[in-house]
């Protein structure tokens, strides 16, 4: 139960986190046939941007975010190779700016573009990766504080190639580790709790996921395979049952479902449990979308929508909620695009050559209302400084944002009935002011 300010009074309400709300999609033009999508801050302004490779046109599009949920027209950067399909962003040369690595399906290489920190990128350099390259990801696989690359590639002779970074933006030759047939999706996490990054890959043609345990020196164990649904196209990781151990989920293009595998913390996983989603899911991501503390799952579908499965924190998931996108959604990513501390979604639409952005919205259940008027705040909305006046002495003040994170805390033995708080460093949005057992809703707006 929470109290919020409404019409100048404190109203006690219930915040129904279990509900799900996204605004209708707003579309932003990309290059031709965007194939996958990531969300990072490439111009160091604290606002998330979108990046997508354009499959037939040999360039990658960068759309800069304004922090209010909108994005710029695309800036396009040419890659070396054919049919760019996947992209990863990390700081490859140690200058504090994000760089890009793009896998090119029609060639055997990865293109690396060095960022200048303003949202622009230099000419591409090419590194051999392997036959029929698919998803590329980046992590420090050999514990030398330099970012490395992992690339899924091959058909019947599937492998994950590891390219070790030199910290200057360059990469060494690939070392292959055998996995299943036609590997596409990759994810890296610590599956056995040894502090070293491991890798899991979805194998489209062998209907399983391969787990490679890292030794922290850039090498990996022989793959252990776990059966999943038909044609697993992509893979994600998260703690789906809240036991502190990493679990896996795959989007299965051939069986129209998601397979969830629960990790035991030692690098092994349970038999998969499947949950139905839309037609031919291709991409899967996981995040807490409804702010209930449990990880949810999102997939795209050939039926021109995305499916959201709400997690219950016990490895179970709801029936799919669907949200309309454009034609042929080929990728989905989450991020706080409008600065209100709620995860939004971005979906690239292959046939429409655009990105659909769906902004998250809060749903409140205004039942069980009681009225109080013991604490007053002004101005509300406020731009920087917030004044608080109470009928009683104020001994402790806490302020949380709409995502539930504590952004301000103050406790004083010299309690007063009026206090002024400076929130200059906090972004615009909704905040909850906690004084004793009361909670008031305030809005910061420049």
DSSP 313-360: SSS-BPPPEEEE--SSEEEEEEE-SSSSSS-EEEEEETTTTEEEEE-B
pLDDT digits (tens, 9 = 90+) for 20-45: 889 999 999 999 999 999 999 999 99
Alpha-carbon span 27 to 48, nearest angstrom: 16
Going by DSSP bridges, is the β-strand pair 2-6/9-15 parallel, antiparallel, or unpaired? Answer: antiparallel
Alpha-carbon span 131 to 429, nearest angstrom: 48
Residues 132/107, Cβ–Cβ less than 8 Å: no
Residues 339/68, Cβ–Cβ less than 8 Å: yes
With tokens 């795209």, the residue in question is 300
Residues 377/442, Cβ–Cβ less than 8 Å: yes
Going by DSSP bridges, is the β-strand pair 364-365/9-15 parallel, antiparallel, or unpaired? Answer: antiparallel
Residues 323/332, Cβ–Cβ less than 8 Å: no
Query: Among residues 446, 397, 441, which one has the least CA distance to residue 426?
Result: 446
Residue 213 has pLDDT above 60, yes or no: yes
The first and second tokens of residue 219, run together, are 């090498």
Confidence of residue 141 (pLDDT cuts 50, 70, 90): very high
Q: What is the pLDDT of residue 363?
A: 58
Residues 351/325, Cβ–Cβ less than 8 Å: no
Tell me the CA distances in angstroms from 96 to 114, 115, 256, 332, 389, one per residue in order: 11, 9, 41, 26, 44
Buried-state track 361-400, b at ≥16 Cβ within 10 A, e below 16:
eeeeeeeeeeeeeebbbeebebeeebebebeeebeebebb
Side-chain-side CA neighbours of residue 378 (13 Å): 5
Edge-to-edge strand ranges of the sheet holding 247-252: 232-238, 247-252, 257-261, 273-276
Q: Round the CA-based radius of gyration of the chain to a whole number and report it.
A: 23
pLDDT digits (tens, 9 = 90+) for 63-80: 999 999 999 999 999 999
Alpha-carbon span 147 to 267, nearest angstrom: 23
Q: What is the pLDDT of residue 429?
A: 76
Q: What is the pLDDT of residue 398?
A: 82
Residue 436 has pLDDT above 80, yes or no: no
Q: Go through the chain and tell me how many residues it has.
A: 446
Confidence of residue 290 (pLDDT cuts 50, 70, 90): confident
Residues 89/40, Cβ–Cβ less than 8 Å: yes
Q: What is the pLDDT of residue 205?
A: 98
For the ranges 176-185, 296-305, 416-425, which has the lowest average pLDDT? 416-425
Verify cis geometry, omega within 30 degrees of 0, for the bond prior to 381: yes
Alpha-carbon span 190 to 310, nearest angstrom: 24
pLDDT digits (tens, 9 = 90+) for 387-398: 888 877 887 888
For the ranges 5-14, 157-166, 248-257, 348-357, which has the lowest average pLDDT? 5-14
For the ranges 84-93, 177-186, 358-367, which has the lowest average pLDDT? 358-367
pTM (two decimals): 0.80
The first and second tokens of residue 64, run together, are 């800069």
Q: Which residues contact 150 (CB under 8 A, 6 or more apart)?
A: 136, 137, 138, 139, 141, 160, 161, 162, 163, 186, 188, 199
Q: What is the pLDDT of residue 272?
A: 98
Average pLDDT over residues 257-271: 98
**Most distant CA pair in the chain: distance in Å?**
74
Q: What is the pLDDT of residue 10?
A: 36
Residue 424 has pLDDT above 90, yes or no: no
Residue 412 has pLDDT above 70, yes or no: no
Q: For the CA atoms of 296, 40, 333, 61, what is the dihedral angle to 10 degrees?
A: 180
Residue 440 has pLDDT above 70, yes or no: yes
pLDDT digits (tens, 9 = 90+) for 311-340: 999 999 999 999 999 999 999 999 999 887
Confidence of residue 410 (pLDDT cuts 50, 70, 90): confident
For the ranges 71-75, 185-189, 258-262, 286-290, which has the lowest average pLDDT? 286-290
């Amino acid at each position: 139960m929470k109290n919020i300010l409404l019409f100048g009074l404190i109203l006690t309400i219930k915040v129904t986190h279990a509900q799900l709300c996204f605004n209708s999609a707003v579309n932003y033009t990309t290059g031709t046939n965007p194939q996958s999508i990531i969300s990072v801050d490439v111009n160091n302004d604290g606002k998330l941007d979108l990046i997508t490779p354009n499959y037939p046109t040999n360039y990658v599009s960068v759309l800069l975010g304004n922090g209010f949920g909108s994005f710029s027209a695309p800036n396009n950067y040419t890659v070396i190779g054919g049919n760019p399909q996947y992209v990863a962003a990390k700081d490859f040369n140690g200058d504090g700016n994000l760089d890009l690595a793009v896998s090119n399906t029609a060639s055997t290489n990865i293109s690396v573009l060095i960022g200048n920190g303003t949202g622009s990128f230099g000419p591409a350099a090419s590194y051999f990766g392997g036959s029929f390259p698919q998803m590329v990801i980046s992590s420090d696989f050999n514990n030398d504080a330099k970012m490395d690359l992992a690339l899924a590639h091959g058909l019947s002779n599937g492998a994950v190639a590891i390219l070790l970074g030199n910290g200057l933006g360059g990469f060494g030759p690939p070392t292959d580790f055998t996995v299943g047939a036609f590997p596409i999706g990759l994810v890296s996490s610590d599956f056995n709790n040894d502090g070293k990054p491991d890798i899991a890959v979805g194998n489209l043609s062998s209907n399983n996921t391969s787990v490679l345990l890292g030794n922290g020196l850039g090498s990996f164990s022989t793959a252990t395979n776990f059966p999943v649904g038909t044609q697993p196209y992509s893979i994600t990781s998260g703690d789906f049952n809240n036991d502190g151990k990493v679990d896996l989920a795959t989007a299965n293009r051939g069986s129209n479902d998601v397979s969830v595998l629960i990790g035991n913390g030692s690098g092994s996983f349970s038999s998969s449990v499947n949950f139905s989603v839309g037609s031919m899911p291709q991409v899967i991501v996981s995040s807490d979308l409804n702010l209930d503390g449990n990880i949810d799952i999102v997939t795209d579908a050939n039926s021109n929508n995305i499916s959201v499965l709400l997690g219950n924190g016990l490895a179970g998931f709801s029936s799919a909620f669907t949200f309309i996108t454009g034609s042929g959604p080929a990728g989905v990513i989450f991020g706080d695009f409008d600065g209100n501390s709620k995860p939004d979604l971005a979906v690239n639409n292959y046939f429409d050559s655009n990105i659909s952005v769906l902004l998250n919205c809060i749903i409140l259940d205004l039942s069980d209302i009681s009225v109080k008027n013991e604490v007053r705040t002004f101005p509300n909305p406020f731009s920087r400084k917030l004044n608080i006046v109470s009928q009683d002495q104020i001994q402790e003040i806490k302020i949380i944002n709409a995502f539930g994170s504590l952004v301000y805390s103050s406790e004083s033995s010299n309690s007063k009935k009026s206090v002024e708080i400076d929130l200059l460093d906090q972004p615009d949005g909704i905040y909850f002011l906690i004084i004793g057992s009361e909670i008031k809703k305030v809005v910061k707006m420049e």
